[in-house]
Amino acid sequence: MSSSRTILITGASAGIGASLALEFARRGYALALAARRLDALEAAVPALRAAGAPAVVPIRLDVADTASIEPAVQQAAQALGRLDVVVANAGIGALTPVGKGRLPAMRETLQVNLLGAIATIEAALPILKTQGGGQVVGITSVAGAKGMPGFAAYSASKAGLHRYLQAARAELRGTQIVVTELAPGFIDTDINRGYGARPFVIPVERGAAIMARMIERRVGLRWVPVLPWTVIALLLKLLPAAVVAPRQRRH
């Protein structure tokens, strides 16, 4: 059992999850890291221990298999002694234009990004209640503020997760459980490389540092980084669809 603060991060083998793991290792947290690629998690253990993590527990988990999530969260809690923070980070970002036969990719996106995240938080909440409190963190996106052309399923998954977190925060108001939603703009990871323009993109290390500070401050909802994305997200909600996705020329 660790006397340090503890954190479970899903999707921790790459991207934002891996960078968050390193950031929290530097802050002295004991880590439980879950991902499909157990080998990648195990390979990262020496560096995370060297960075300051007193314990690192790698856990194989595919959040698309929702039945496997509760045992994995319980494994993390047992290994670390308690869970102070649970970050539902695992996600995918397939290109899913509408009407193009992409339903299987859409289904997988919703299964991972929406149901996987909800199942992670649902598995964590009874543990947090039993231990007297804690924090759940959901990672959404600026894409949840407006349906993005080519990313219908991704936008829908993040908008749905936003509403779930909003409801959870309302239900848990007045308890010792904090519900945090972090909605990044463009952070430089494999999930968004190769898909065209990425305005105001920032390095993943900077994004993770910002997010770690927000998690430690136990915020409610924040755009990442706060500027310019708070303003951009507001504009996206107000602008008509024709501005975001001009009508295509007919041939």
* Residues classed as catalytic: 154
Q: What is the largest CA-CA distance in the chain?
A: 66
The β-bridge partners of 203 are 188
Tally Cβ neighbours within 10 Å of residue 24: 27
